[in-house]
Amino acid sequence: MEGQEIAKQLPQGAVHQGLALKIDEPEPLTIAELGTPAKGFLVMLDQITDPQNIGAIFRSAAAFGAKGVILQDRHAPALSGVLAKTAVGAVDKAPYARVVNLSRALEELADLGWRAVALAGEAEQSLDAVLDSQPTVLVLGSEGEGVRRLVAEHCDALGKIPMPGGFESLNVSAAAAIALYEASKVRAVDEIVS
């Protein structure tokens, strides 16, 4: 099939390089499947809806060795299209779960041995100060509202990313990459010590 014929089969504006495949979205896991055993770190996204941000977060999660990503059932796009393109294959590499209620998911994860840390600009401590070697869920909120109050109340700690440049604004996917790096550093130091 020629390039123009392929383009007719794809959504408007889709980019291809002479090849297009249609595959099903990977199957989500349950919280129990994703959280057992309690080891490493997970990423939870609270009302993050932009597919490019989610795709970039999946990419960072896979790069830094996160055990998986937790999405809201209704407030997150399908793992296809722009999201999958931005993730550059990480959608197939990083396991994920979709949940209706993030607070209940955090309760279930706590019962499984997980500790939850929310990123919040108003936090008193820096992220590196609140991270430890315990199994940790990193909770990230939307760029406008941040982590919602009820979700934050189900977290064990709040941490902020220090920004000495005086510009207090990061894209959520950039903040996720920094948080994942910090979490992976804690794990690497813990492995060297033990």
Please check whether residue 158 lies inside any domain of the structure. Answer: yes
Query: 107-153 pLDDT, tens per residue?
Result: 999 999 999 999 998 889 999 999 999 999 999 998 888 999 999 99
Considering the domain boundaries, does residue 102 fall inside one? yes
Query: What does the pLDDT look like over 42-83, one tens digit per residue?
Result: 999 999 999 999 999 999 999 999 999 999 988 787 777 777
Q: Is residue 5 part of a domain?
A: no
Structural domains counted in the chain: 1
pLDDT at 193: 46
* pTM score: 0.85
- CATH number for the domain that contains residue 135: 3.40.1280.10
Virtual CA dihedral for 57, 45, 173, 143, nearest 10 degrees?
Answer: 160
Side by side, the strands of the sheet bearing 68-72 are 96-99, 68-72, 41-46, 136-141, 115-119, 157-159
Domain that holds residue 144: 26-193
